[in-house]
């Protein structure tokens, strides 16, 4: 199979690696432009681009694919380049750019499989930008991968394949991301192999019930509201690991909260008050119940055990954090 692959972060890179290792020919990689990162704000290539360059796969990096937009010239050049390619299918995974109708027109020409998307949710639940984060934050017990035939809607296309995966009680977005990336890679290779053999793919329209949207994670959401129930706070901490990291305030200092667990202690106290500090962590009161913070990080510092940071900062039981 000759594949055009469109993706940007590590989630997409895992799928691209699997497609290449399965013997399919990737004729072009489309990924977002290099972005400034790190303290020096130097330009860095996406994980997908880095792998493509290692394998000598041509790379295309348009800022936009909208001909009528601010980057119309780039879009026209990208579409022209895509039109000239000889390929069987376009695979999309966390690309980050909206695909216009012109892309579908090219990918859906006779004999081609169109645009196949690897989406990290059990569609129609969690359409949108942050399905892994939102599934954990909502307390879902399971999630999975859907291989979808893309259309112009926001993750509204018919589903070709879907597999489920349980969400563990201590799952974070980081751990679930890695597990789903591996699942998605296996599923897209199976889908490509099937199309190579049968030259067609069966799909089922998404259900009209149970539609939810996984809105983009905003840094403004990171601050913990200690008035909330302990379970809600624990879910948020795990959902926001590794990005953007849930936060609390110690005076004017921002503390990142990376790991936590629920406690059995139902003693009610002022939300945000430190109930106890042990080698296991720092127990904080919530609107209902309490959570045990186990891994923290202050600005400019390294991640460390909550007990260690509490000792460093001089925290004491009875102190209120915001």
Q: Is 201 annotated as a binding residue?
A: no
Q: Is 123 annotated as a binding residue?
A: yes
Helix, strand and coil in the chain, % to nearest 5: 30, 30, 40
Sign of the torsion formed by the C-alpha atoms of 218, 223, 224 and 227: negative
Q: Is 141 annotated as a binding residue?
A: no
Burial of 299 (0-12, 13-18, 19+ CB in 10 A): exposed
Q: Is 313 annotated as a binding residue?
A: no
Q: Give the whole-angstrom CA distance, residue 228 versus residue 206.
A: 34
Sign of the torsion formed by the C-alpha atoms of 61, 63, 66 and 71: negative
> Cα torsion at 141, 147, 153, 158 (round to 10°)?
-100
What is the per-residue DSSP string for 263-289? -S------TTBEEEEETTEEEEE-SBS
Q: For Cα atoms 207, 212, 218, give the angle at the middle one, nearest 5 degrees.
A: 155
Q: Give the whole-angstrom CA distance, residue 152 versus residue 150.
A: 7
Residues flagged as binding site: 121-124
Residues flagged as binding site for (6S)-5,6,7,8-tetrahydrofolate: 121-124
């Amino acid at each position: 199979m000759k594949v055009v692959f469109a993706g940007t972060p590590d989630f997409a890179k895992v799928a691209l690696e699997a497609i290449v290792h399965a013997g399919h020919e990737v004729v072009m990689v489309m990924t977002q432009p290099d972005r400034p990162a790190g303290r020096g704000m130097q330009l860095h290539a996406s994980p997908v681009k880095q792998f493509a360059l290692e394998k000598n796969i041509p790379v295309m990096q348009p800022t936009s694919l909208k001909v009528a937009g601010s980057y119309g010239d780039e879009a026209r050049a990208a579409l022209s380049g895509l039109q000239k390619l000889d390929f069987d299918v376009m695979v999309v995974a966390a690309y980050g750019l909206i695909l216009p109708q012109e892309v579908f027109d090219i990918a859906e020409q006779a004999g081609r499989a169109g645009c196949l998307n690897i989406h990290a949710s059990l569609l129609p639940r969690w359409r949108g930008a942050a399905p892994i984060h939102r599934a954990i934050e909502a307390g879902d017990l399971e999630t999975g991968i859907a291989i979808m035939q893309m259309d112009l809607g926001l993750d509204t296309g018919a589903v070709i394949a879907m597999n489920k995966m349980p969400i563990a009680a201590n799952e974070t977005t980081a751990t679930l991301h890695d597990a789903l990336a591996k699942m998605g890679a296996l599923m897209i290779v199976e889908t490509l192999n099937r199309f190579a053999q049968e030259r067609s793919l069966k799909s089922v329209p998404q259900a009209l019930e149970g539609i939810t949207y996984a809105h983009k994670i905003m840094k403004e959401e990171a601050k913990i509201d200690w008035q909330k129930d302990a379970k809600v706070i624990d879910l948020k901490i795990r959902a926001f690991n590794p990005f953007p990291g849930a936060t609390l305030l110690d005076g004017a200092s921002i503390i990142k909260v990376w790991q936590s667990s629920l406690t059995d202690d139902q003693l009610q106290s002022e939300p945000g008050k430190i109930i106890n500090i042990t080698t296991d962590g720092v127990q904080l009161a919530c609107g209902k119940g309490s959570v045990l913070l186990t891994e923290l990080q202050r600005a400019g510092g390294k991640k460390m055990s909550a007990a260690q940071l509490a000792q460093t900062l001089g925290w004491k039981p009875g102190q209120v954090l915001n």
